Amino acid sequence: MKITRILSVLLATMLLLCGVASAETPTVSVLAMNSWYSTVDLSDAELLNDIAANAGVTVEWHLNDPTTYADSVSPMLASGQDLPDIVQLPDLDLNMDYLSTGMFEPLDEHFDIMPNYTKFLDANPDIKATLTAVNGHIYYVPQTVVTNNYQPVMMYNMPWIEKLGIEPPTTLDAFVEMLRAFRDQDMNGNGDTTDEIPMSVEAANLPYMFGPAFGLDLVSGFYADDEGKVHYAAAEPEAYRNYLTFLNGLYEEGLLEVEFASLNRDQIVERFANDLTGVTFDFSWQMSTLYSAQYPNYDGETGIIVGAAPLSGDHEGFYVGRNAVNMIFGVNSKAKDLETAIKFLDYAMGEEAQDLYVWGKEGLTYEIVDGERQFLPRTTEDVDWFQGLGINAPNMPSQQSTPATDVLLAKWHVQNDREFEEPYIRAPFPVVYSTEEESAVISMYQVDLQTYVDERAIAFICGYASIEDEFDSYIETLKSMQVDELIAVKQAQYDRFAAAKQ
Ligand SMILES: [Ca+2]
């Protein structure tokens, strides 16, 4: 009898302890994107489970298809009802539509319990300035991408360059000389001097490729000069005119092909596969994995289609990078346990969690060779498994890492990035929140303006419109389309951004 009683008391105590233990593990609900791989579900991902366990919480995931994420989440945000504790937003909320409703907690009021996030913001003043709302509060935690590596760059057919006995050009003049040689000589050695296409570039990449030599960031559209004065690149009366004149010259000489406006990446790949073209401009990533890989003699040791420094003209060349903030997460201001949700998000921004998103775990996803991490073979052989761990989690504030990208690429490509790409990257025009008045001006004028600019650019380059006769009226039309009002808005935003960086 006595023993039975002791046992039952023990059992009851154990049950009570278990009950207490589970009651002490708080739950945080998170609405976010599922994996971009349709065969992968991140609701029970090993690395994300580790992060939750380390943070001392259980995460209740509400994961939606990333391809329709905005469609599924926007109505929930519009109603503002029954939102989970943490929400991955469908966009960057640049018009402050969501944060102005009060549905998201101002996180700066909780920075005393966010040591990881405050450390991150101190180390990244540009991101801090981007995330600072017009009222001075910070509402969101970002997911970020690499900005200064593996961006769009010049790429040359190195066997052709070597055949000419030249170095990759760094000026517009040397570049044009090289294109003429590509056009006129039998570069691919098939006995036909007429099948070479000197340059194959998608029309959308031409501004990236040639704008900087004229001092223009046509990619962002707006840019600030050294004095902090904002310009609209396609309204610059001299520099933009010179840019168009240069491209029109290429077109007239057959160096920019007749069909350039409709050229796509598949066609460019096909040309490299047949060794028919000498130059392209694209995301760096493609030079080894896509373009060089088209050549049967590519051995992975030496590049065939290889990156080079930007072209300089009247201005020193540069490459336009991109903004770091890719996605944002907010904390529901009506969350039952606000402190736990905020602390979890802060843990998810810390170094321990970031290391798990980027590398996974030693023995599981990587090993250390000569003191450096290398992914294990299974990480590339079994993509569903690898993605299913929660690597580079699309549903968390993960920060994309350059070292973890390097190990996926050929060594020559990594060296090429460090030597010819990274040193020339210039930050694009910053992403800044708009006031209601500013977003009204932007939505009223910007799309029409850009459409007109794009249409005229093709006309001037192809010579349907004469630069000599019609460029001045083009500038006048931009003014009648309120380009100056847009510039004033962008100037105010740039000034706020500069002030928020302090
Ligand atoms: Ca030929």
Domain of 47, CATH number, reads 3.40.190.10
Q: How far is the CA of 296 from the centre of ligand 1 (A)?
A: 18
Same domain, 70 and 189: no
Between 284 and 404, where is the model more confident? 284
Q: Is the predicted pLDDT of residue 22 greater than 80, yes or no? A: no
Q: How far apart are CA 399 and CA 391, in angstroms?
A: 11
Do 165 and 272 share a structural domain?
yes
d(CA 73, CA 87): 9
Q: Does the pLDDT at position 7 exceed 80?
A: no
| 335 lies in the same domain as 359 | yes
Q: How far is the CA of 378 from the centre of ligand 1 (A)?
A: 42
Residue 21, domain member (yes or no): no
Confidence (pLDDT) at 16: 45
Ligand 1 centroid–CA 250 distance in Å is: 20
CB neighbour list of residue 123: distance below 8 Å, 6 or more residues apart: none
Reported as a single tens digit per residue, the pLDDT across 330-383 is: 999 999 999 999 999 999 999 999 999 999 999 999 999 999 999 999 998 998
Are residues 227 and 93 part of one domain? no
Indicate the pLDDT class of residue 18, thresholds 50, 70 and 90: very low
State yes or no: pLDDT of 498 exceeds 80: yes
In a domain, 12, yes or no: no
Cα 158 to middle of ligand 1, angstroms: 16
Task: State in Å: Cα 445 to ligand 1 middle.
Answer: 48
394-407 average pLDDT score: 93
Residues 161 and 307 in one domain: yes
Residue that is last in its domain, among 346, 381, 400:
400
Q: What is the number of domains present in the chain?
A: 3
Average pLDDT for 37-52: 96
Q: Is 155 exposed, middle or buried (0-12, 13-18, 19+ CB in 10 A)?
A: buried
**pLDDT range class, residue 6, cuts 50, 70, 90:** low
Centroid of ligand 1 to alpha carbon of 190 (angstroms) = 5
Of 5-9, 54-58, 120-124, the least confident: 5-9
Structural contact between residues 433 and 133, judged by C-beta atoms closer than 8 angstroms: yes
Query: In which band, very low, low, confident or very high, does the pLDDT at 23 lie, cut at 50, 70 and 90?
Result: low
CB 433 within 8 A of CB 442: no
User: Where does a domain end: 322, 356, 389?
Assistant: 322
Residue 86 lies in domain: 27-145+325-400
Confidence at residue 17, expressed as pLDDT on a 0 to 100 scale: 47
Q: What is the 270 CA–ligand 1 centroid distance (Å)?
A: 15
> Are 97 and 123 in the same domain?
yes
Based on the domain organization, do 57 and 137 belong to the same domain?
Answer: yes
Mean pLDDT score, 386-396: 94
> Do both 477 and 367 map to the same domain?
no
In a domain, 415, yes or no: no
Q: What pLDDT, on a 0 to 100 scale, did the predictor assign at position 24? A: 81
* Residue-level pLDDT at 102: 95
State the distance from the centre of ligand 1 to the C-alpha of 276, rounded, in angstroms.
7
Same domain, 178 and 227: yes
Q: Can you list the alpha helix ranges (DSSP code H) found in 31-171? A: 46-55, 69-79, 115-123, 125-131, 158-164
**pLDDT surpasses 90 at 284:** yes
308 and 343 share one domain: no
CA of 177 to the centre of ligand 1 (A): 18
- 108 contacts 145 by C-beta, under 8 angstroms: no
> Does residue 443 surpass a pLDDT of 80?
yes
Is residue 208 domain-shared with residue 343, that is, in the same domain? no
pLDDT at residue 316 greater than cutoff 50: yes
Say how many Å lie between the CA of residue 381 and the centre of ligand 1. Answer: 38
Residue 426 lies in a domain: no
Residue 349 sits in the same domain as residue 318:
no
Q: Which of 350, 376, 400 is the last residue of a domain?
A: 400
Report yes or no on 290 lying in a domain. yes
Q: What SS3 class is residue 457? A: helix
Say how many Å lie between the CA of residue 195 and the centre of ligand 1: 5
Task: Please indicate, yes or no, if residue 133 is contained in any of the structural domains.
Answer: yes
Phi, psi of 243 (to 5 degrees): -60, -50
**What pLDDT was estimated at residue 336?**
94
Query: Is residue 38, in this structure, part of any structural domain at all?
Result: yes
User: Is 3 domain-assigned?
Assistant: no
Q: What is the distance in A from the centroid of ligand 1 to the CA of 274?
A: 10
Task: Compute, in angstroms, the gap from residue 196 CA to the centroid of ligand 1.
Answer: 6
Instruction: Give the model's pLDDT for residue 80.
Output: 87
pLDDT computed for residue 424 by the predictor: 98
pLDDT at 15 over 60: no
Percent of the chain with pLDDT over 90: 92
* Ligand 1 mean position, distance from CA 311 (Å): 26
Helix (H) or strand (E) holding 61: strand 58-64
285 CA from centroid of ligand 1 (Å): 28
Residue 201 CB-half CA count within 13 A:
26
Q: 268 alpha carbon to ligand 1 midpoint, in Å?
A: 17
Q: Is the dihedral of CA 388, 394, 396, 400 positive or negative?
A: positive
Flag whether pLDDT at 183 surpasses 80: yes
Residue 376 · residue 384 · CB < 8 Å: no
The conformation of residue 259, written as its DSSP 8-state character, comes to: T
How remote is the CA of residue 278 from the centroid of ligand 1, in Å?
12
Tell how far the Cα of 297 is from the centroid of ligand 1, in angstroms. 18
pLDDT of residue 263: 97
Q: How far is the CA of 183 from the centre of ligand 1 (A)?
A: 9
For position 25, what pLDDT does the model report? Answer: 93
What pLDDT score was predicted for residue 195?
A: 97
State residue 1's pLDDT score.
43
- Confidence class for position 282, pLDDT limits 50, 70, 90: very high
Give yes or no for residue 3 having a pLDDT over 70: no
pLDDT recorded at residue 343: 98
CB neighbours (10 Å) of residue 326?
Answer: 16
